[in-house]
Amino acid sequence: MKLKLPSGTFDAYLFDCDGTIADSMPLHYLAWRTALAEWNCSFSEDLFYAWAGFAVAKIISILNEKHGLDMPVEEVARRKEELYLEAIPNLRAVPEVLEHINLQYGRIPLAVVSGSTRESVSASLRFLHLLDKFETLVCAGDYKEGKPDPEAFLIAAARLKVKPESCLVFEDGELGMVAAEAAGMATVKVPSRRARL
């Protein structure tokens, strides 16, 4: 399967991490299920994929409201991250995206824009031997409004000193696609793992 890129030349490529560069969504979902089960909280796989792009803390807050629970956000977030990091040896890159990273590395600046924590993103990229290919990482905590707000993508463009309209964004999540388009950027939809299989 090849990714279909929009026509034109771009001055920078911005990538989501989970589900886009890293085939990490199944590992994240297992970490979520295990962490939330400790609080008797359910989280369906469909909802997990629909919320791709939300920051960890936001997901826990929404689940608290939805289920009338009082899970400690920081504690549950820390536990979920711990479980994900334990699973990292099973991580693989998405080959169709890796191809474009390798093709453009050293030619144009590359950045990662993620709803995950810097620790989680760095750990994933380090394990995949990709961390040094990106000039900047924009992660949870670097912006006030997460995806679908364009703020994170605009921060990445500013850090790379590139106009938003000359950036190409690789995304697997709907929220990320909406955010990138709101930032005035061209997009490439990376099929979800389910779609690829």
Q: What is the pLDDT of residues 5-15, one digit of tens each?
A: 999 999 999 99
Q: What is the pTM of this model?
A: 0.93
CATH label of the domain that carries residue 156? 3.40.50.1000
pLDDT tens sequence across 20-63: 999 999 999 999 999 999 999 999 999 999 898 888 999 999 99
3 domain residue, yes or no: no
pLDDT tens sequence across 93-139: 999 999 999 999 999 999 999 999 999 999 999 999 999 999 999 99
2 domain residue, yes or no: no
CATH label of the domain that carries residue 60? 1.10.150.240
Question: Could you give the CA distance from residue 74 to residue 69 in angstroms, rounded to a whole number?
Answer: 14
Question: Could you give the CA distance from residue 129 to residue 148 in angstroms, rounded to a whole number?
Answer: 29
Whether residue 150 is found in the same domain as residue 181:
yes
Per the structure, the complete domain to which residue 99 belongs is given by 12-23+92-196
What per-residue confidence (pLDDT) applies to 23?
Answer: 96
Nearest to 189 by CA among 12, 28, 52: 52
Ranges of beta strands (E only) in 65-178 are: 110-113, 136-138, 167-171
| Angle in degrees, 0-180, between the axes of helices 73-87 and 118-127, rounded to the nearest 10 | 0
DSSP string, 112-124: EE-SS-HHHHHHH
